[in-house]
Structure 1
């Protein structure tokens, strides 16, 4: 553990420490409150940056951790000509950093600095590709698509930043993919000098910025493979950068989705149809008047559909949208040979193309087809070691499939990518510990065993601000009376606070069932019931919850974390069940098996700590400021009847508890 006396070791660390003191520069900011935990965290971040060490910090709610890492990161970046990359899980936090915290620091830091939001390049329109699409519209687009293209062309002449977020109506993806920025098409060389190339302009801002904010998903896409990261002499995305992960408790989950293999039926089909679509008779092979390519692309689509039909017939989706594949050669490989031929045809056609953009477009599709071919081969042969393989239903109506493989144990992978020598990474979140101050559980899971741990408490007075109710009388969930009792206790406790409640579920089906049964109760009590999954996006539900009095929000997974509702609007968080992950996804199942193979106990070494972290997240929704008050209700008696219940209780903030 780091003790504060050890932290104050250099002029830079002392300067940062002073910045957060009772009379330091930050005290001039509006609503400033001196918080010793914030000061300690900032000094620890400064020391880690200066010594080029990795650091993992749990900082309780209310510490003000974003300012505690931003201030030292900005000062260090400027003084050492480096870039601070700040990665978050949610858009909410990105917006807080860019529109609240960074503007505060622009006023009070003694230096000038630039901050920029990094978006994936496919968010930006490329004017060269737009121009090319307009020229070849007849060969590439159907009537309605050409109309959409025209709308985008008009928007392109007036938009400020040329990104999707500036469009009032989401564009047709088929059209957007042909005009957005692409890695090998919209390059520094081809578009760098064009003042209307929105991606290249954004890239210039990123190169000039001292602080870059992005999300974990984009970061892991850009980091590339562990091999690519290991080969770097310094930095992660730029030669001179360091990373700060906020909401670091989500890193393992996000990295699992990005590191590994994913071949999408829809994506591969779209790629081939961009070469030639038999239904519309449009595509790049039509532009090039290549009859052999047209024929090959049409046949490839038929073979692709047959291949995925075979995959579907061998997959059992009764348990959900994912089916685990345990053996090699799930189906015969009837497709990679066809993809090789298609790739070779593209290479031939490229030789004849004298137009540079057209050439680049064709080469890009050649690369995508090659990547898909490699992915299918690895999936069928199961040639990636220590990976779990599964087929997943995708699309709005689950009409497509994807083939997936991911490393079961991410620790060695992330150790090579993130926690390596000649690079610095700071990870922070309000919930990283599951009972030990050295944060050992999380550090072992993400390969951060060499990183320095630091646990800081919350400045809130939970004894006065929060009360917890545990309903011991709840029947077992398998009992016939369970749902009626669940409804009765939810009704009892939401009346206690006049609504203003989150009711958090672990199962979407249970939530829908209870919501349906309780509709009448909420109408009678003049409470406003909001249910996740009814079509409204999460941000819209939150706005309604905050603005409409006597609201009760039923939510599942995404409402347990990353949601901030300070004040009286949220005075009650009801946890319907302890959030144990059901081992129904191939990845979780494989992780549990791995623990057992290594001679461990899957429940105590994985299921229990994961559930404790999730419960801490859910409980953390309640008290967001020093003036908040409210109740936590736990409608799962296992927290007081089972031996492991003590581990949950010890991990929660200390507050008065009433068992009913």
Structure 2
């Protein structure tokens, strides 16, 4: 069959079962991969078109009043679809509506083969930024003149399908052969198309010079590129002048370049720190251009001194920016040749060996796992890194990826045929030969706390987004355990009869009770799984019954309970301790049997590596749980720990998460990091409170006499670009008027939205308050005027919510926690920032509560030493969301009057750039905001 009909429908709603009807159909006919015809028509649905649909599509009741009903065109539509594949972007939706209409009119349903361009795009373009039709049309520069109209959407889908066919025609034989083994799990009837292409390749002399094949797998593997690095002759000052000065290389490469004195000052400070072997804290205001400012001295020093410099970031977003934008720019403007590379932890890299084994051992995969395997098959023919962060896997796909990451290889023998095809080993080889190694705080901390075994040797490091470093170090020195992970591990191992890891050994080596106690394994595993169930349910009920004063709410609405080992008593707590002890014993018994199996495999076949590695991986999992239970319930370890439990009241009664982290990492960092390294430079836009670095120095364990501190002011004219408004008439939340406060906030948001046409980011400190405000706004806002997006309510990741916000002309985005920083929305997309409350952590938050207690014992003020500095730094992060360029402008509306009338309010206002601030009634502030925007619009 070589005929394809692409369809798209516009409907009165999403469910034919609720009597929603088709109001427009668009059809595009493709033959021989060429568009040969199009058809479109309105239908009269015999019911009013909802306002939301009219707003989305532009189709009104007047447009369809004289249109035919579906029955009049049904036969024509069926004849056009005869002997054709049906293609649609989410084909089940369109086909479901067509079949519902046909059935209602007494006609047979369609039985055509179908192709879903959402599914096929996910498989064939695994690194695309998203899979909505609009996102894919932008990605491929497809003309999309009239989104949400049937013929326009069908036409773009047809052009996308041509891209799909073109991509299939570029795939190697081995990739298509492996895909065919999975195709039965998919919506798309792709088998005939793949078989036809496989036949063509069987008799083709085409080859893929960039593709390598091994054991039935095709993949892309770049050779490690080693450039000759020369000695540096110029002085550092001359080097900077040739780049930064007017008429220098930056101005030659960047047409809009304007010299920023702070940028060169920052470069010079970092170089001074490196050469004088001192540590440095540098706060660089927004717009400084800090990435370039620290990369230039890093490159110069690394090449001149033939020493590696590490650059560590908190987010993958910044890593991508450094590699894709900043490093290429430095190559262009610098006469110094250098090598820069990215190195992450082993769990980020795919193991081709493990993936090959999973493909070979075909089982009954669910849809997400089959989709993940197909996506990875395509991706490995394209990737140069093997870093899974390049791909958007389905949710369950990340669980599958844990089985095939390089982390599961344990140690890979250089004599193994797979060694030369290891992406992780390739990344390590690149790192060994590079001058600049970009990594993340997670790997930097892992390296630090494991005797510096993961990163190549270094003496100088630049830590960007440094305000996160202490927290990241605490997480790495602590632990996290949960019900799902433990049960997942047990289910992965399985009983001796199951087609799981342990059962595979039983089959492969003909194990029996004569040499391995299989009955004991099965019984112990069963007991362990039941004990996990009972333990986490017991913890759930224990926390639920504790007095509310001992509980806090996390950012996602979980109840948090801090454990105090001296105070946890009573029968219920003893039951939890007994269960933990029993579970540890069960895990120890399972480890003992695993070692017996490993010994048997070694005796039978010493060259068998994969099964032995899997066994040792299971042993490591179980030992980690044993150690975690010991630390959580029975000891503090070498360092005093803060321990807490989180439960999700909306989840199952075993939705429990156990956490532990050091009460103070300053001493750890001082001894194991700052004393070990010659120069550590830490930079961020938010390192000071009230112009002082003292709080950050204490947190990090940096002594002031050996540390350079520098504040680089932002080049932006904040006094002209920003106005701050603080209302004096909001209900005082201190007296329990939370609902009144939320209503006042919602009213202010709506009033401001009228002035700024939405384009508003609202920052909350509490998920509970965000949720309340969201539903108040939903009830009171003009229907469909604004796109309201709420974190934790609207589905999607932070990046997805931000993209949705930017794609609507009039949108309001409500966020908490993660939205206070790292979200860049430059230009006209964001005109107003609402900060609902000053971002103090709740005093009963487990970590805050524990650290406060320690400070009190030391006769220090927990509010001034901990709560206030943390809140100020987070406030500065939130404030920084508004202005991202010299042309941005907007208002900051702070609903919390404490910023003006509390004694400590000045710490917030004096820690941000100076901006005009207005303290007045809400109505007067709204009037002033409107006047200010009108005045700016007139300029």
Fold match by TM threshold 0.5:
yes
**Aligned 1:184-263 pairs, distance under 5 A:** 184-185=409-410, 187=412, 189=414, 194-225=419-450, 228=451, 237-240=455-458, 242-263=460-481
2:746 to 477, 487, 493: 487
Q: Which residue is 1:468 aligned to?
A: 724
Q: 1:508 to 1:279 in 2, by over 3 A?
A: farther
Is contact 1:59–1:428 with CA below 8 Å preserved after alignment?
Answer: yes
CA distance in structure 2 between the aligned counterparts of 1:64 and 1:151, rounded to whole angstroms: 41
1:506 to 765, 787, 791: 765
1:429 to 684, 692, 700: 684
Is contact 2:839–2:875 with CA below 8 Å preserved after alignment?
Answer: yes
Following superposition, the deviation at residue 63 of structure 1 comes to 0.8
Q: Which residue is 1:536 aligned to?
A: 796
Q: Which residue is 1:345 aligned to?
A: 593
Q: Which residue is 2:583 aligned to?
A: 335
Following superposition, the deviation at residue 43 of structure 1 comes to 0.3
Following superposition, the deviation at residue 395 of structure 1 comes to 12
Q: 1:188 to 1:321 in 2, by over 3 A?
A: farther
Is contact 1:382–1:389 with CA below 8 Å preserved after alignment?
Answer: no
Following superposition, the deviation at residue 58 of structure 1 comes to 0.4
- Bigger mean CA offset, 181-190 vs 65-74: 181-190
CA distance in structure 1 between the aligned counterparts of 2:917 and 2:245, rounded to whole angstroms: 35
SS at match of 1:433: coil
SS at match of 2:332: helix
CA distance in structure 2 between the aligned counterparts of 1:510 and 1:394, rounded to whole angstroms: 17
CA distance in structure 1 between the aligned counterparts of 2:481 and 2:747, rounded to whole angstroms: 46
Is contact 2:496–2:502 with CA below 8 Å preserved after alignment?
Answer: no
Asked if residue 357 in structure 1 is aligned to residue 607 in structure 2, the reply is: no
Q: 1:297 to 1:520 in 2, by over 3 A?
A: closer
Gaps of 5+ in 2: 1-233, 552-557, 567-573, 921-939
Give per-residue Cα distances to partners, 1:272-301, cap 9 Å, x unaligned: 333324794522254233424444333333
- Bigger mean CA offset, 47-56 vs 155-164: 155-164
CA distance in structure 2 between the aligned counterparts of 1:219 and 1:440, rounded to whole angstroms: 24
Q: 1:597 to 1:168 in 2, by over 3 A?
A: closer
CA distance in structure 1 between the aligned counterparts of 2:787 and 2:373, rounded to whole angstroms: 43
Give per-residue Cα distances to partners, 1:513-542, cap 9 Å, x unaligned: 212222255445833322222112221222
CA distance in structure 2 between the aligned counterparts of 1:335 and 1:260, rounded to whole angstroms: 21
Following superposition, the deviation at residue 653 of structure 1 comes to 1.3
Give per-residue Cα distances to partners, 1:118-167, cap 9 Å, x unaligned: 333223322222343455556xx778798568647844763534443455
1:323 to 551, 561, 579: 561
Asked if residue 80 in structure 1 is aligned to residue 305 in structure 2, the reply is: yes
CA distance in structure 1 between the aligned counterparts of 2:413 and 2:430, rounded to whole angstroms: 13
Following superposition, the deviation at residue 396 of structure 1 comes to 9.9
Q: Which residue is 2:244 aligned to?
A: 20
Q: 1:275 to 1:483 in 2, by over 3 A?
A: closer
CA distance in structure 2 between the aligned counterparts of 1:150 and 1:23, rounded to whole angstroms: 52
Q: 1:627 to 1:191 in 2, by over 3 A?
A: farther
Please, what is the CA RMSD of the aligned residues? 2.9
Equivalenced residues, count: 641
CA distance in structure 1 between the aligned counterparts of 2:731 and 2:490, rounded to whole angstroms: 55
- Bigger mean CA offset, 16-25 vs 614-623: 16-25
Following superposition, the deviation at residue 222 of structure 1 comes to 3.8
Q: Which residue is 2:818 aligned to?
A: 558
Q: Which residue is 1:602 aligned to?
A: 862
Is contact 1:13–1:46 with CA below 8 Å preserved after alignment?
Answer: no
CA distance in structure 2 between the aligned counterparts of 1:621 and 1:156, rounded to whole angstroms: 34
**Aligned 1:59-138 pairs, distance under 5 A:** 59-134=284-359, 136-137=361-362
Give per-residue Cα distances to partners, 1:38-85, cap 9 Å, x unaligned: 111000111112222211100111111110001111121122222332
Following superposition, the deviation at residue 208 of structure 1 comes to 3.0
Is contact 1:37–1:456 with CA below 8 Å preserved after alignment?
Answer: yes
Gaps of 5+ in 1: 1-9
CA distance in structure 1 between the aligned counterparts of 2:398 and 2:877, rounded to whole angstroms: 35
Asked if residue 392 in structure 1 is aligned to residue 640 in structure 2, the reply is: no
Is contact 1:124–1:163 with CA below 8 Å preserved after alignment?
Answer: yes
Q: Which residue is 1:413 aligned to?
A: 668
CA distance in structure 1 between the aligned counterparts of 2:327 and 2:596, rounded to whole angstroms: 52
**Aligned 1:368-379 pairs, distance under 5 A:** 368-379=621-632
- Bigger mean CA offset, 274-283 vs 572-581: 274-283
CA distance in structure 1 between the aligned counterparts of 2:784 and 2:589, rounded to whole angstroms: 67
SS at match of 2:788: strand
CA distance in structure 1 between the aligned counterparts of 2:801 and 2:791, rounded to whole angstroms: 8
Asked if residue 443 in structure 1 is aligned to residue 671 in structure 2, the reply is: no
**Structure with bigger gyration radius:** 2
Q: Which residue is 1:7 aligned to?
A: none
Give per-residue Cα distances to partners, 1:417-454, cap 9 Å, x unaligned: 331244321110111111134x1111111112242211
CA distance in structure 1 between the aligned counterparts of 2:527 and 2:635, rounded to whole angstroms: 27
CA distance in structure 1 between the aligned counterparts of 2:740 and 2:410, rounded to whole angstroms: 62
Q: Which residue is 1:622 aligned to?
A: 882
Following superposition, the deviation at residue 362 of structure 1 comes to 0.8
Q: Which residue is 1:160 aligned to?
A: 383
Is contact 1:276–1:298 with CA below 8 Å preserved after alignment?
Answer: no
CA distance in structure 1 between the aligned counterparts of 2:481 and 2:382, rounded to whole angstroms: 34
CA distance in structure 2 between the aligned counterparts of 1:282 and 1:395, rounded to whole angstroms: 33
CA distance in structure 2 between the aligned counterparts of 1:396 and 1:96, rounded to whole angstroms: 38
TM-score by length of structure 2 reads 0.64
CA distance in structure 2 between the aligned counterparts of 1:148 and 1:99, rounded to whole angstroms: 28
Greater relative contact order (CA < 8 Å, ≥ 6 in sequence):
1
Asked if residue 459 in structure 1 is aligned to residue 718 in structure 2, the reply is: no
CA distance in structure 2 between the aligned counterparts of 1:307 and 1:525, rounded to whole angstroms: 47
CA distance in structure 1 between the aligned counterparts of 2:891 and 2:476, rounded to whole angstroms: 38
Q: 1:404 to 1:371 in 2, by over 3 A?
A: same
Q: 1:246 to 1:313 in 2, by over 3 A?
A: same
Q: 1:247 to 1:396 in 2, by over 3 A?
A: farther
SS at match of 2:854: helix
Following superposition, the deviation at residue 345 of structure 1 comes to 1.6
CA distance in structure 1 between the aligned counterparts of 2:412 and 2:425, rounded to whole angstroms: 8
Is contact 1:262–1:402 with CA below 8 Å preserved after alignment?
Answer: yes
Asked if residue 593 in structure 1 is aligned to residue 816 in structure 2, the reply is: no
SS at match of 1:342: helix
SS at match of 1:405: strand
TM-score by length of structure 1 reads 0.89
Asked if residue 308 in structure 1 is aligned to residue 517 in structure 2, the reply is: no
CA distance in structure 1 between the aligned counterparts of 2:619 and 2:423, rounded to whole angstroms: 25
Is contact 1:77–1:210 with CA below 8 Å preserved after alignment?
Answer: yes
CA distance in structure 2 between the aligned counterparts of 1:541 and 1:523, rounded to whole angstroms: 21
CA distance in structure 1 between the aligned counterparts of 2:903 and 2:284, rounded to whole angstroms: 28
Q: 1:217 to 1:150 in 2, by over 3 A?
A: closer
CA distance in structure 1 between the aligned counterparts of 2:728 and 2:373, rounded to whole angstroms: 63
SS at match of 2:910: helix
1:582 to 825, 839, 842: 842
Following superposition, the deviation at residue 656 of structure 1 comes to 1.4
